[in-house]
Amino acid sequence: MSDDRVSPPDAAALPLPPEVAEAEARDEIARIYEEIRQALRSPNVNLVYRLLASYPPYLAAAWEQVRPNLASRYVEREAERLRALGPLDIGSSGASFRRDLAALGLPDDELGRIRATIDLFNYANPKNLIVVTALHLALDGRPIPGSGDPEAGRRVPEGPLPAVEVRLLDARSASPEARAVLDEILAAHDTAGAMPSVYRALAGWPAFLRLTWETLRPLVAGAEIAKRVRRLIDEAERSALGLPHPLSLSRAEAEPLIGPNGTAAVGAVLQRFRTGMIPPMIVEIHTLKALLDGADAARRSPLAWRAGKVGSG
């Protein structure tokens, strides 16, 4: 084990830093956030980056190496491979979920916004998992050399996709009904008090959020999800090791930027998101998509760039 290695148990025990909300971002952080939206092709900046923004010098150095990888054809293709691992087995839950959803009487345009919101998270999270894994490996003394493959390194068209505005509600802005469900969701997840963004986004539809969680809760409480999460972690590491561009920001390089304590806090964020937050959320979102539209729909993102697809650029 090298001197650069971060101790996983110690890192996991550290609290998460405060996030820098998108509306609060200024100067360099605001610039990086806009570049994240462009490279990720998403209207929102995911929570992991908002937490890393508590350490601006690290985020700036990390983003310089992350951006060409995140925007690459390789990550786009590998994210689709991770999606293809599929949702949990929903059995007859899909039919009952769709029946109960119809009974809610949501207008078609609202259902369209809900689908678009789920599709955005289903698109972005596998890509984020790959680069977060690479950042954690590099900090842990396992730098990514970069394959140098020119085709894999080519960028996909950047810019937020035409989808839907995603508003992240919290305990202060959510309705009492949604707040009660969010409290249940938070209690069921080992996220160090950080509410998964997808549920904050769905809190704008309290009845749908309640139906979603009541249906997902027994599915994600079983033994199958642990196996799926473990496989996602392993497959994401495989993807990270094959990134086309180098990603090598080590602990020795981070400490002069943000100090030993800051580096340990960054390690805690990366480890928790790599193992305990993004993989379970990918499985849950895949499963929610399967409940809504069937398992096949969960395995492929309609937002993913594919060579030859009309409008892919």
Q: Is 1 inside a domain boundary?
A: no
Q: How far apart are CA 41 and CA 177, in angstroms?
A: 32
The phi, psi pair for 245, rounded to 5°, reads -115, 150
pLDDT of 14 reads 76
Please tell me the predicted confidence (pLDDT) of residue 200.
93
- Predicted confidence band of residue 7 (pLDDT cuts 50, 70, 90): very low
- List pLDDT tens digits, range 109-153: 999 999 999 999 999 999 999 999 999 999 999 999 999 999 999
How far is residue 130's CA from residue 174's CA, in Å, rounded to a whole number?
Answer: 31
CB atoms near residue 28 (< 10 Å) = 14
| Distance (Å, whole) CA 163 – CA 113 | 8
Query: Which residues span the domain enclosing 223?
Result: 8-154+161-298
Of 269, 286, 113, 127, give the one whose Cα is nearest residue 216.
Answer: 286
The answer to the question of residue 65 being in a domain is yes
Range scoring the smallest mean pLDDT among 4-18, 148-162, 204-218: 4-18
pLDDT at 11: 55
pLDDT at 166: 83
Distance of CA 215 to the CA centre of its chain: 22
Cα Rg of the chain (Å, integer)? 19
- 3-state class of 289 per DSSP? helix
Q: How many domains does the chain have?
A: 1
Model pLDDT for residues 175-205, shown as the tens digit of each residue? 999 999 999 999 998 888 888 999 999 999 9
Q: How far apart are CA 196 and CA 181, in angstroms?
A: 13
Q: Which of residues 309 and 66 earns the better pLDDT score? A: 66
113 falls within a domain? yes
- Alpha carbon distance 111, 208 (integer Å): 10
Mean pLDDT of 245-268: 97
For residue range 58-115, what is the model confidence (pLDDT) as tens digits? 999 999 999 999 999 999 999 999 999 989 999 889 999 999 999 999 999 999 999 9
pLDDT tens profile 192-250: 888 899 999 999 999 999 999 999 999 888 889 999 999 999 999 999 999 999 999 99
- Once rounded to an integer, what is the mean pLDDT over residues 281-296? 95
Q: Is residue 170 part of a domain?
A: yes
Residue-level pLDDT at 172: 79
pLDDT at 192: 83
Is 203 inside a domain boundary? yes
259-281 in b/e form (b: 16+ CB < 10 A) is eeebbbbbbbbbbbbbbbbbbbb
Give the confidence band of 307 by pLDDT, cuts at 50, 70, 90.
low
Average pLDDT rounded to a whole number, residues 20-41 = 95
Tell whether 149 is covered by a domain. Answer: yes
Tell me what pLDDT residue 15 has: 84
Query: Is 312 a domain residue?
Result: no
Provide the sign of the torsion angle of the four alpha carbons 294, 231, 14, 19, taken in this order. negative
The three-class DSSP label of residue 256 is helix
Structure confidence at residue 163 as a pLDDT band (50, 70, 90): low
- Mean pLDDT computed over 243-263: 97
> Residue 113, SS3?
helix
Tell me 172's DSSP state. T
Average pLDDT over residues 39-49: 93
Q: Is residue 191 part of a domain?
A: yes
